[in-house]
Chain A
């Protein structure tokens, strides 16, 4: 079946602009996660949803970052007033299908570059 997909694959923006990153989880997965991966580092947790609600948003770095999952499927990560330090690969993962509910399956990521 289809895996986790993310769009766009690359996003270049200017400092101060607003961006939206989209994640389509595996069909039927109830949990959805956002991580951020800087060059040479492991993924860093941002937020996760169980259904439509944000179950844990403790990883969001500040109030410029916000995420939604209004229908319990697709999620959008929104970043306001982007800064150069926001440049990274933003990864989405989903879990909760039949079988192992723990396993998180990752999407290909969106590479965000803030100029």
Chain B
């Protein structure tokens, strides 16, 4: 089955700096890659996703890149703010439609003033 690895496990940046979180996946059939943000004690919330037919997607301060050949995808947050502090999870899905997500182990992002 699919295996998703995520790095780093913790990341501390100063407010205004950029943060990058990287994931790798094992199943070449995976074609849907969402990113979720989870604040302490809260539900995971989708912040951005990408499908395998594109290499990059942006939404304001957030961007995701995908390298299908290398089976890598990354989350980029620019101009970080204290409210960006949370745990971020990457995930991969094999069919992209009503299919289970395999999650990474998470990255705890701390944005300091």
Which residue numbers of A lie inside 8 Å of B, CB to CB?
A: 4, 30-31, 33, 35, 40-45, 48, 50, 55-56, 59, 91, 95-96, 100-109
Contact = CB atoms under 8 A, between A and B. Distances in A.
Contacts of B8: none
A38 to B, nearest CB: 11
Given A40-B106, A106-B43, A108-B42, A31 B101 contact: no
Q: Is the interface of A mostly helix, strand, loop or mixed?
A: loop
Q: Is the interface of B mostly helix, strand, loop or mixed?
A: strand
Contact of B105 (A33, A41, A48): A41
Nearest to A47: B100
A102 to B, nearest CB: 5
B100 A102 contact: no
A91 B44 contact: yes
Contacts of A45: 100-102
Contacts of B34: 102-104
A107 B44 CA distance: 8
Contacts of B14: none
The 10 closest A-B pairs by CB, nearest first: A42-B103, A31-B98, A45-B100, A106-B43, A106-B44, A108-B43, A42-B89, A43-B103, A102-B32, A102-B96
B45 interface: yes
Given A48-B100, A55-B98, A96-B98, A106 B45 contact: yes
